[in-house]
Structure 1
Amino acid sequence: MNIENTDPKPGVVFMRTRETYYVQIGRERILCTASTKLKQEIVVGDFVVWDDKHRITTVRPRHNQFSRRAAGTGYQQQIIAANVDQVLIVMSVAKPRPRWNLLDRYLVSAEFAVIPALICLTKMDLVQGTAQREEIEAVASEYASIGYDIILTSTQTCQGIDELRSQIQASISALVGQSGVGKTSLINALEPELALRTQDVSHHSNKGRHTTTTSQIYPLPAGGFMMDTPGIREFGMWDMTEEDLIYGFPEMRPYQHACKFSDCSHHEEPGCQVRQAVMEGDISPYRYQSYLKLREDL
């Protein structure tokens, strides 16, 4: 069937490969390519318009986009997701072990993009009955006290799956996280009929293997959509200043302009209200150290 997009209403890109884009409009799905005249990058989640030869000619303005600094030596932007209602940050509590500073990178980038973030800790069954579980729960409590929603899950025991389902229904959620943390297993738990392929963590490196190689949007039975994104091992923040960075730590914002010096780096200057808040217990020492580490990487 030759589907011509004579309706000005755009379709949404629900999957892409290297040179092709799968676009959905209503119940129809169309395979498209990008017009050679189009200079803008097309990403999953974009609303696009195409011509009678199924060439995408227009990308509608995005409501938002979640980006990172592209891997490699150059300074380029990589847009991970566009037009989403929330970013679902997935981190395993074991195999691979949690990287809290990586979580903060995701959270700061979500704050900078003005996209709500939901934290999902997976594989809780692997720490059941251990001291590590108490440590995980303590860290989770810290993030919850800042104001983040955080859900502890296990696809093996179904812990937290119903709670997660209620948090993502009727919304478009972009799953982000390292390889091997269980993003694909989560989608399978939420929608078993998809039966997406998963891979175990490497026993040699204890790092995840890539299962998802391209972003794709899946509909969920209770309503809403899940955007699965490829796992990554590093997350460089994109186009962020020092002032942007501290804005990405909500608990530090009230103290941002209260320091003695207007250009305070919140590191060693006298009269720093951020450091004072840390000493008084109003800001987590861990989160403060995370801020300093991220500041070095800008």
Structure 2
Amino acid sequence: MAEEVEHTKESWPENVVVRVRGPFYDVWTAQGVIRCVVRGALKRERRREDLVVVGDRVEVRIVGPGEGVIEAVAPRRRALMRRARDREVAQVIVANLDQFVAVFAAAQPELSFGMLDRFLVVAESQELPTVICLNKVDLDPEGRARAALAPYRAIGYPVVETSVVTRIGLEELWRMLEGKLSALAGPSGVGKTSLVKAFRPELELRIGAVSEATGRGRHTTTASELIQLDERTFLVDTPGIGVLHLWAVLPEELGQYYREFRRYLGSCAYRDCRHLDEPGCAVRAAVEAGEIDAGRYERYRAIYQDLEEEAERQGRWEVERLRRERRTR
């Protein structure tokens, strides 16, 4: 059982949800952490998957010592979200972030560039500043994973290389986190909880190992939790993500979320160019000229195909409605 994280009053934003436990929501208030339930009318107004999440700013009515009712949820400034598995609804992972830290391992488990690119699409669609953290670099003595991230550095993503074992990069990561509310997200087994514990070693957090049979991490963090690192710095440790389905992203807008594509958008022969097989495509010409990384482009094609299949399944008008809803929540 993970230790209950203690929070101090200094600089902590009031009425913010710090953890979700089944039907209960722990909310930091001026009176300390209050365990709350959600008002019945609010449940009917909002979807269950999108009801109240870590990072939400809420209105709380105190009903007893250490107990309250969430009456309302403030509009979310930014949110890290995905499509819920097997259902056409949004699953918000954490709300109101200052930045997102995509954590991947140099080895054990192997770095998934497909998932990294999907994370970046989510972040770009939410205008969410992003840091790429390559953890476990002590397991990559030849630097292959580090070298493979060169295309991401080239297009402006900050990349920090860390190891909890050797403590390489922890000071640099701290400078990126300091004074912000950040979320660590990535596959299971990449060391997200170990990084949190590196900054708060007194916490009794469960840390798992990578399965030798599958090469995948085992889930140890079962729910997102907002942790205070110092008076101005807050970090959300999220459960490991095995599959990241994009939420309400139309196929034709996908290219906008690739930073390296943007300078070429509008220069194609066709206004509605998908940047796949159309003649006169400026993006494909840039790939052939080596100005856009070929691996990133091939993964773009795969994601585009997935989004087209999803749009056909849902119906385009429904996808457009969901996109508008996403931008107004």
Residue in 2 that maps onto 1:83: 96
What is the DSSP-based 3-state SS (H/G/I as helix, E as strand, rest coil) of the residue aligned with 1:185? helix
Question: CA 1:263 to 1:290, structure 2 compared with 1: closer, same or farther past 3 Å?
Answer: same
**Aligned equivalents of 1:36, 1:27: Cα separation in 2:** 24
Give, in angstroms, the shift of residue 27 of structure 1.
6.1
User: d(CA) in 2 for partners of 1:147 and 1:60?
Assistant: 32
CA deviation after TM superposition for structure 1 residue 221, in Å = 3.0
CA distance in 2, matches of 1:86, 1:52: 31
Structure 2 counterpart of 1:171, one-letter code = K
What residue number does 2:293 align with?
284
Task: Give 2:26's aligned residue.
Answer: 22
Q: Say which of 70, 76, 91 aligns to 1:56.
A: 70
Number of aligned residue pairs: give it: 285
1:15-164 correspondence to structure 2 within 5 Å? 15-26=19-30, 28-38=32-42, 39-40=45-46, 41-53=51-63, 54-72=68-86, 74-128=87-141, 130=142, 133=143, 135-164=144-173
Q: How big is each residue's C-alpha offset from its partner over 1:52-73, in whole Å with a ceiling of 9 and x where there is no partner?
A: 321111001111111101112x
1:11 maps to 2:15: yes
Say whether residues 1:216 and 2:229 are aligned partners. Answer: no
Q: Which runs of 4 or more aligned residues in structure 1 lie more than 3 Å from their structure 2 counterparts after TM superposition?
A: none
Provide TM-score, normalisation by structure 2. Answer: 0.84
CA–CA distance in structure 2, aligned partners of residues 288 and 140 of structure 1: 14
For 2:271 and 2:263, how far apart are their aligned partners in 1?
Answer: 14
Distance 1:242 1:256, change over 3 A: farther
**Runs of 5+ in structure 2 lacking a partner?**
1-12, 308-329
Deviation at 1:10, TM superposition (A): 5.5
Percent of aligned pairs with the same amino acid: 39
What's 1:196 paired with? 205
- Label 1:239 to 1:208 Cα distance change in 2 as closer, same or farther (>3 A): same
SS in 2 for 1:181: coil
Quick check: 2:183–2:237 contact (8 Å CA) kept in 1? Answer: yes
Alpha-carbon RMSD across the aligned residues, in angstroms, is 1.3
Give the match's secondary structure for 1:240: coil
**Structure-1 separation of matches of 2:183 and 2:113:** 19
Q: Give the unaligned 5+ runs of structure 1.
A: 1-8
Aligned partners of 2:129, 2:220: CA distance in 1, in Å? Answer: 26
Q: Label 1:195 to 1:162 Cα distance change in 2 as closer, same or farther (>3 A).
A: farther
Query: Letter of the aligned partner of 1:211 in structure 2?
Result: T
Q: Normalising by the residue count of structure 1, what TM-score does the alignment of the two structures yield?
A: 0.93
**In 1, distance between residues paired with 2:261 and 2:164?**
35
| Separation in 1, partners of 2:69, 2:301 | 46
